[in-house]
Structure 1
Amino acid sequence: MIDTHPPFRDPQLPVDLRVDDLLSRLTLEERVAMLHQFAPAVERLGIGAFRTGQEALHGVAWMGPATVFPQAVGLGATWNEELVRRVGEAVGAEVRAMHARDSRVGLNVWAPTVNLLRHPLWGRNEEGYSEDPALTSAIAVAYTRGLRGDHPVHWRTAPVLKHWLAHNNETDRDTSSSSVPPRVLHEYDLRAFRAAVESGAVAGVMPAYNLVNGRPNHLSPYLEEHLRRWTAQDLVVCSDAGAPSNLVDSEHYYDTHEEATAAALRAGVDSFTDHGQDSSTIVARLRGALDQGLIDEQHIDRAVRRLLAMRCGLGEFDPQPAPGAGTERFDTPEHRALALEAAEQAVVLLKNDGLLPLAEGTRIAVVGLLADECKLDWYSGTLIHRSTPLTGLRERFGAANISFAEGADLVRLRTAAGWVQVPLAEDEGADAVRGAEGALDPALLAGRTDLPPLTCGDDPAELALIDWGGGVLTLRAADGRYLSVADDGRLRASADQPGGWVVQETFRLEERPDGQLLRHLGSGRAVAVDDGSLRIADQGDLFEVVVVRRGADEVAAAAATADVVVVVAGNDPHINGRETEDRTTLALPEQQERLWRAARAANPRTALALVSSYPYGVTDADAELPALLWTAHGGQAAGSALARVLAGDVSPAGRLPQTWYAADADLPDLLDYDVIGGRQTYLYFDGEPLYPFGHGLSYTSFGYDDLSAERDGDLLRVRLTVGNIGAVAADEVAQLYVRFEDGTVACPLRRLVAHRRVPLAAGAAERLEFGIPLAELGFWDVARGRWTVATGRYTVLAGASAADIRCTVTVTVDAEGPVARDVLVRGLAAADYDQQRGTVIVDRAKESGDAVTTGPGGSGELLFRGCDFGDAATTVAAEVSATGPGTVELRLPDGAVLATLAVPATGGPYDWTSLKAGLLLSGVADLEVRLTGPVRLAGLSFS
């Protein structure tokens, strides 16, 4: 019989006592089972099943109809924490409402993504907020507070931050290692996570697939050394899907899954997301690790305790529902209005030579491949409402004033067996799944095998061909359905949109001497004619592509008869840049380049509206067109929001959350995570960006005056006046940056320390005050091994972007002076270098510690500045390992060699030895260390 009044069900007791009571009632088998993502019910205690992980990045994802808000990068572009908090509240309410209706909707939400948008070619750029840690953490705090709710005890949902740590590449994402020096770790990557954790609105984190400094993130010592020291709250660490198995299967970091699972549990992972809903494999690995003595019951209990604390906070064990539970709703009028407001605030006006806003009665040609699209991404929910730029402009300006031309090339395909045909369905299957607006539900159509496959014959089908860049094509039938491949390998017109984990709607045409091969990219196989119908096969047939109409001609014709042209270009979030796939270029796809050029040639009054998940290098468009805008995919209200901005109903006030570079040549290597040494992001980039971080124009003008800054204890008090000196009410985003003028180390060119989005009526002004903690001025001092605020002059820069600075003031801060490295006492940790060339940071041991080794070139150099060798250092000892012979050479910057140590092969990378050599050095000097061969250097000590 179930005890209905045990202490763990008493909401009046502290959470830790409730958890201790429940933990004591669970058997070992029940506790182990709880460590899988799908924890089973414990019926004898009246405890239900629990699933960690509900995607909620910009709305409830994957679980059916829900309000779809702008992509995360679009929320970042609002620079508005109050708005984002309200979005988080709405998403949290919809999670609760949907959970009440369907228990498969989980309350442990995996959101937001706080990885910094260091590199704009990262495929998951759409999931992050900004390249800047201060802006990212501010938006993340707001969103998690909304998701968590404001009840002092009960959590509306339990947010988990993604993805710990230094994760910006999909290429080799489960085997590549991010080399992150201590300064970058502390000043950049950790800062994005810390504020949200310290705010108390975060339930935990999810480690990323990649390795950091040679060690998989699911074994990261930083989980205990940093994350869990930022708060007294129990934080849950949920593994990413399949990552525990990767430790053996792809990373080969451990030989057995029992070792790997035990190591992850010891490092702090609490919930294992692996093998889908089948928990038996993970449970068996944990039991094997227990039997082998790799872990003990304390490790199990520590993880279960954290999971139970989270579930307790969600109210699961309370005898009565939490206050307010059951009143949550989704798709409310308030949520619809909020989706529109968020989409409006996310629009960024990049350039405007007076073309915008558009006057009433303007005849507008809306053209482009995204002109009548409302695109979703992998983490979107199912749309209840849909608004495209075309429908938005028709609603706003009247259908009679709007013309439309998509600009897709219209083609026919011919094979030796005849023309490609799209047969009509013999039943009403297609019509039966059409929604109220006539759209086909991709969940019902894509992958269907009951629709007739494409055939060859005498009646050619006209297909819309869209090249999304790099030769990646989609083909669409006249009824709007995309060509797709189902499990039986047949081609059908059966998808409303490209999508899915493996996209089945993309193709490539490959030139052959006698025709073109049509390659299906989802399978890698070619399209062939088989019994009169089309299927994928190892050997494909050749196709002739006959162009019926050029999309550029269609666009030019529409543009020529309009007063103004709006070209809508951008990306499909499932193609060429998404989870599992990085982009290869900043360039706009050639087909879309042709469209805006055709529009401009026909009508110089042409605006380019980019709707995309990431930046583009549109230098020619910026030079030739009078107006450009950008917005991320804006969810269900995207089209209405864009139309209202174009009409001037809303003055654009979105600001770029990341640098828009002019060309690919400005970008660092995708796997170069040293933002300082690589001069990356607006913080260090020395070049001229196309559009700087924080950029965004308005339909009015703003003035900045009376900037002052003074120290007030542990704060820097900054005050300034921002005024709307134009004739239009609008928001301004006032941005404060700081630059250290007296640094002897590489300091940011400017660093965002505060911002505020301020609504101002025409002619109005507001006095703003910011209290900036002095710690925000600091840096990670590798000489001291801690955070340091240096004595010296700091310039405060106020303006409308990182490049549009309107006024400055300089203050002197008396804090800490520079110190030399006391190498006789502390030695030199190899990873604590000031500069490097040709090296990477790797793991000293599998559990913790860093070392430095040579990169692909087989040699590298480290520079340590300001080393104090006292009266005389006569001996150096190097802690090294090597898989083959190499050398460690110490020298002065002038090239004088101090000592050379020949390093023999020690066995493996974790077989360490200490080698000594004589040298003679005194006083303070810079030291260079040169490594050659497969040598790992952990550190140097001197005597």
Structure 2
Amino acid sequence: MTAQTPPFRDSQLPFAKRIDDLLSRLTLEERVAMLHQFGPAVERLGIAAFRTGQEALHGVAWMGPATVFPQAVGLGATWNDELVRRVGEAVSTETRAMRSRDDRVGLNVWAPTVNLLRHPLWGRNEEGYSEDPKLTSAIATAYTRGLRGDHPAYWRTAPVLKHWLAHNNETDRATASSSVRPRVLHEYDLRAFRETVEAGSVAGVMPAYNLVNGRPNHVSPYLPEQLRTWTDQDLLVCSDAGAPSNLVDSEHYFDTHEEATAASLIAGVDSFTDHGTDSSQIVERLQRALDQGLLTESDIDAAVRRQLAVRFRLGEFDPRLDPYAGALDFDTPAHRSLAREAAEQAIVLLKNDGLLPLTGQDTRIAVVGLLADECKLDWYSGTLIHRSTPLEGLYERFGADRVDFAEGVDRVRIKTSAGTYLSVPRADDATDEVRGAEGALDPALLAGRTDLPPLTTDSTGTELALIDWGGGVLTLRAPDGRYLSVADDGFVRASADQPGGWVVQETFRLEPHGSHESHESHESHESHGSHENGHLLKHVGTGRYVSVTADGVKVAAQNPEILELEITERGEDTVARTAAAADVVLVVAGNDPHINGRETEDRTTLALPAHQQRLLEAARAANPRTALVITSSYPYATDPADLPAVLWTAHGGQAAGTALARVLAGDVSPAGRLPQTWYASDADLPDLLDYDVVGSRQTYLYFEGTPLFPFGHGLSYASFEYGNLVAHVVENSVHVTITVTNTGSTPADEVAQLYSRAVTPSVSRPRRELLAHRRVHVLPGTSTELSFELPLSAFEFWDVVHGIRRLEPGPYELLVGASSEDIRLRGTIELDGTPTTPRPVLELDLNAADFDEQRGAEIVDRTKLSGDAVTPAHGNDGNDGTHGNTAELVYRGCDFGPATGTVTVEVSGEGSLELALDGGPVIARLDVPATPGPYDYTTVVAEFGATEVHDLYIGLRGPVRLAHVGFSG
């Protein structure tokens, strides 16, 4: 190093010293500018611009062609940590290769999503790995290790986990608050983040849009109190897009953007993703916050330091030492093979009565359904380089002469009130700009074009494919494959290769003339063909209706056209004909990831869309040898009783069709396992916004009903026996060994799953809880011994009395098997721990949120900075005929000692509290006078006579917020 080289350029110094030096050289203005997502270059120091954020959920996204792996929920279904690590390695390698030719590609990757798949109607179900925190953290840890690389100092990419915290709803996602009791917080939602961060390959987290316990995640006290205590590394916290402004604009949590920005920074947000590439507003807010004394320079420095720590680890300041700087592997044979392997391992065989595999030499196969010739992408996919649909995969594996196809869409002509028909201009009317070198139409360039001719009308019209996705949402497709879409000028054109985009411009709704309320179209065949009064065609993206003008067909706010649908061919009829002529029928059903369940939109039902259900029934009626192949981002509830075989796969990326065909043919024995419970009906589901998995008995951990298919379920073409369970406690861990034997004739993978159950718990514990899993390949007639070493902490629960994780002494059952319900081996171990004692309420105040049970309550923020309080849930009416808000809290086993004389509560709002013992009569009532605001607490004292140990019941009447309860003798 020369005398002129600054220390921050000295690779011999520790990163911490180099960061100190660089910070000292940056002006305050330069440091503040770095806090926006798009930080500018500092040319005087030779420092390049830097941006946080590169989507990489299952491949490099939004930056053009890249290898597309299965959706995250599909990677979760592999239950294969090592496979997922290799996928992460491939994705980060392609990230580096793409960055070498395009500096817009960032190395701070926003992946994976570790939000638990608590509720299957969540629109972003496809982005998570599992409903179980242990499986989620295992898969997430594997993916982040692949993304990070294995060099001790330098990282290939820097992964940021999404979305902190308790985020499972798109409905009102920027304003809804998740009420998360301490046990659920520590045993469930925090756990997936914690175990992944503690593994050491995580660069940071992204807070979610929602609030938790009344407080926005972007000012969450859990960032400093929990996240930053799990590792010695400087973790980078990147805001979600637009979320800093939401604190004022939609959540109204702060009065000014200066307060909001300062509070976020102090809470731990280090990079503000807001206003796109325009950093000026965030920079101005930060500067004004400094001027107003809401921030100090040390607050700015803390955030910049964490950003710089990531940049140094990425090798930015040591390009010659960066081991990943020359990575150019992109779309390699190895990556293509890995994409196929991942897609194969993600396939779950849900049911098989002997129909599969398809081994007959002359078997004629019919493949039918809306997804039979589709390779769907989702919002976080890259652009496909290679593409394989189920139909293409079957052609490739079995030969085109043995495979028949029927999509099953309805073919329609749309008649106007003038007696003419909607007509699609021919593809050769497109301009030269949208044609490739050989003159072929390039569909990838068509969406949103305004230089293509819009639809017109004529005497014959164009026969369109009407694709019904359920919920009244449909797409319309021209004969050449182009989807009808609406561009910025409002004209309707056949100009999209697939539905997509942040606002999907290819979806429509049919509404009866005279009603502007949406309805479920096509619930019966008659709804298609009803000509009485006609229909209006509403464009979902703009909310406007199709209108016919002299310039062409467009959507407009006025003068909607009255249309009639003339069906020229019904999908059920073509499916039935095709199915009847085949030996085996494969009905490929599921979802389009951009429609009816995606980011910004939750699903409304588990039911298979009505049109797809009719196709399935038509195929089954025509041919009893019909298998259902569900290709979807989430579970469905459909009765498999009359079907000999059912499979599920998430959208499998570029190799989906090839992988499916190989599994169907028996080239690969399926071994995917369900990463979440498949419920039998909507009636089994809690409310979407009910985050209390313990109290509401959610997920396989607590669900007491009978699922359609249980967590961990998946069948094989082989058969396996489990034996030789041995378990013993050694110091601070439990050692378990088992033997798995392949008793079939097919080499296959098996996924051994180890669960535990507290036999005599003092509080409600899971029915069973996953401790470990292992996916292994076993040859026919051979056995493999599997060993698991489990820390005693795996058996702990969150003790709300003392605010710690605690191991309760007593017997614990170990359950080993092929799913959470298919248990093959059982054993019991005795564990020592800290005994349960009654709540010492004379010594420790009750935090209101530390209840054991509740009815009608929600947890809210005690102050804007920290703490919890409990209040009746909004709109929860009493059962006494009144309509005031009410709630009940139960605290089990409270020890009131030899004598308790008074009770003191810290409370705000207005109303009353009623205290009772063991569910008996009210023995104390405290009237709460109105306080100036929700954060203005007052103390109310009343006489309360109790002795010994009782369950305490506290009733909340009216809009009161209870923070603490104390007792004295």
**TM > 0.5 fold call:** yes
Q: Give the deviation of 1:431 after TM superposition.
A: 9.0
Residues 529-565 of structure 1, C-alpha deviation per residue, up to 9 Å, x if partnerless?
1115211111311100000000011111111111101
Whole-angstrom distance in 2 between the partners of 1:472 and 1:382? 25
Q: Residue in 2 aligned with 1:903?
A: 928
2:707 alignment partner, SS class: coil
1:224 equivalent in alignment to 2:224: yes
Q: Give the deviation of 1:479 after TM superposition.
A: 0.5
Q: Residue in 1 aligned with 2:770?
A: 752
**Higher mean C-alpha deviation, range 891-900 or range 565-574:** 891-900
Whole-angstrom distance in 1 between the partners of 2:692 and 2:11? 48
Instruction: After TM superposition, list the pairs within 5 Å mapping 1:179-258 onto structure 2.
Output: 179-258=179-258
Whole-angstrom distance in 2 between the partners of 1:821 and 1:262? 39
2:786 to 749, 759, 768: 768
Whole-angstrom distance in 2 between the partners of 1:82 and 1:748? 28
2:843 alignment partner, SS class: helix
Letter in 1 for 2:84: V
Instruction: After TM superposition, list the pairs within 5 Å mapping 1:68-83 onto structure 2.
Output: 68-83=68-83
Q: Residue in 2 aligned with 1:178?
A: 178
1:860 equivalent in alignment to 2:887: yes
Residues 576-635 of structure 1, C-alpha deviation per residue, up to 9 Å, x if partnerless?
00000000000000110011111111111111100000000012xx11110000000000
1:826 alignment partner, SS class: coil
Instruction: After TM superposition, list the pairs within 5 Å mapping 1:55-70 onto structure 2.
Output: 55-70=55-70
Q: Residue in 2 aligned with 1:424?
A: 426
1:390 equivalent in alignment to 2:391: yes
Q: Residue in 1 aligned with 2:24?
A: 24
Contact 2:73 2:128 in 1 (8 A): yes
Q: Give the deviation of 1:5 after TM superposition.
A: 2.0
**Higher mean C-alpha deviation, range 246-255 or range 700-709:** 700-709
Contact 1:695 1:802 in 2 (8 A): yes
Residues 207-249 of structure 1, C-alpha deviation per residue, up to 9 Å, x if partnerless?
0000000000000000000000000000000000000000000
Q: Give the deviation of 1:298 after TM superposition.
A: 0.5
1:362 equivalent in alignment to 2:380: no
1:871 equivalent in alignment to 2:898: yes
Cα distance change on mapping 1:436 and 1:233 into 2, 3 Å? farther
Q: Give the deviation of 1:339 after TM superposition.
A: 0.2
**Higher mean C-alpha deviation, range 812-821 or range 15-24:** 812-821
Q: Residue in 2 aligned with 1:527?
A: 546
1:836 to 854, 862, 873: 854
User: Which consecutive unaligned segments of at least 5 residues does structure 2 have?
Assistant: 514-531, 877-884
Letter in 1 for 2:587: V
Residues 375-401 of structure 1, C-alpha deviation per residue, up to 9 Å, x if partnerless?
000000000000000000000001110
Whole-angstrom distance in 1 between the partners of 2:829 and 2:439? 60
1:631 equivalent in alignment to 2:649: yes
Q: Residue in 1 aligned with 2:604?
A: 584
2:744 to 726, 745, 752: 726
User: Which consecutive unaligned segments of at least 5 residues does structure 1 have?
Assistant: none
Q: Residue in 1 aligned with 2:6?
A: 6
Residues 282-315 of structure 1, C-alpha deviation per residue, up to 9 Å, x if partnerless?
0000001000000110100000000001001001
Whole-angstrom distance in 1 between the partners of 2:551 and 2:206? 50
Instruction: After TM superposition, list the pairs within 5 Å mapping 1:810-849 onto structure 2.
Output: 810-849=828-867
Whole-angstrom distance in 1 between the partners of 2:440 and 2:405? 19
Q: Residue in 2 aligned with 1:641?
A: 659
Q: Residue in 2 aligned with 1:573?
A: 593
1:600 to 620, 623, 628: 620
TM-score by length of 2: 0.96
1:912 equivalent in alignment to 2:937: yes
Residues 2-37 of structure 1, C-alpha deviation per residue, up to 9 Å, x if partnerless?
997211112221110010010000000000000000
Q: Residue in 1 aligned with 2:35?
A: 35
Contact 2:443 2:495 in 1 (8 A): no
Q: Residue in 2 aligned with 1:91?
A: 91
Whole-angstrom distance in 2 between the partners of 1:445 and 1:361? 41
Q: Give the deviation of 1:267 after TM superposition.
A: 0.3
Residues 390-429 of structure 1, C-alpha deviation per residue, up to 9 Å, x if partnerless?
0000000011101111000000000023110001256554
2:172 alignment partner, SS class: coil
1:496 equivalent in alignment to 2:497: yes
Letter in 1 for 2:732: D
Letter in 1 for 2:628: L
Identity over the aligned pairs, expressed in percent?
Answer: 69
Whole-angstrom distance in 1 between the partners of 2:441 and 2:841? 69
Residues 849-892 of structure 1, C-alpha deviation per residue, up to 9 Å, x if partnerless?
0000011210000000111111211111100000xx31011111
1:553 alignment partner, SS class: helix
Contact 1:8 1:19 in 2 (8 A): yes
Contact 1:435 1:441 in 2 (8 A): no
Q: Residue in 2 aligned with 1:412?
A: 413
Cα distance change on mapping 1:773 and 1:193 into 2, 3 Å? same
Contact 1:361 1:397 in 2 (8 A): no
Contact 2:430 2:452 in 1 (8 A): no
**Higher mean C-alpha deviation, range 409-418 or range 243-252:** 409-418
TM-score by length of 1: 0.98
Contact 1:517 1:526 in 2 (8 A): yes
Whole-angstrom distance in 1 between the partners of 2:439 and 2:569? 28
2:53 alignment partner, SS class: strand
Q: Residue in 2 aligned with 1:143?
A: 143
Q: Residue in 1 aligned with 2:521?
A: none
Cα distance change on mapping 1:772 and 1:421 into 2, 3 Å? same
Contact 1:350 1:696 in 2 (8 A): yes
1:889 alignment partner, SS class: strand
CA RMSD of aligned residues (A): 1.3
Q: Give the deviation of 1:328 after TM superposition.
A: 2.8
Whole-angstrom distance in 2 between the partners of 1:236 and 1:111? 13
**Higher mean C-alpha deviation, range 322-331 or range 551-560:** 322-331
Whole-angstrom distance in 2 between the partners of 1:157 and 1:223? 22
1:561 to 574, 577, 581: 581
2:572 to 523, 529, 552: 552
Q: Give the deviation of 1:361 after TM superposition.
A: 2.8
Cα distance change on mapping 1:368 and 1:805 into 2, 3 Å? same
1:893 to 918, 931, 935: 918
Letter in 1 for 2:898: D
Whole-angstrom distance in 2 between the partners of 1:395 and 1:435? 28
Q: Residue in 1 aligned with 2:373?
A: 372
1:583 alignment partner, SS class: coil
Whole-angstrom distance in 1 between the partners of 2:835 and 2:921? 30
Letter in 1 for 2:79: W
Q: Residue in 1 aligned with 2:537?
A: 518
Whole-angstrom distance in 2 between the partners of 1:91 and 1:3? 40
1:678 equivalent in alignment to 2:683: no
Letter in 1 for 2:508: F
Contact 2:100 2:328 in 1 (8 A): no
Q: Residue in 1 aligned with 2:723?
A: 705
Whole-angstrom distance in 2 between the partners of 1:177 and 1:535? 40
Instruction: After TM superposition, list the pairs within 5 Å mapping 1:115-130 onto structure 2.
Output: 115-130=115-130
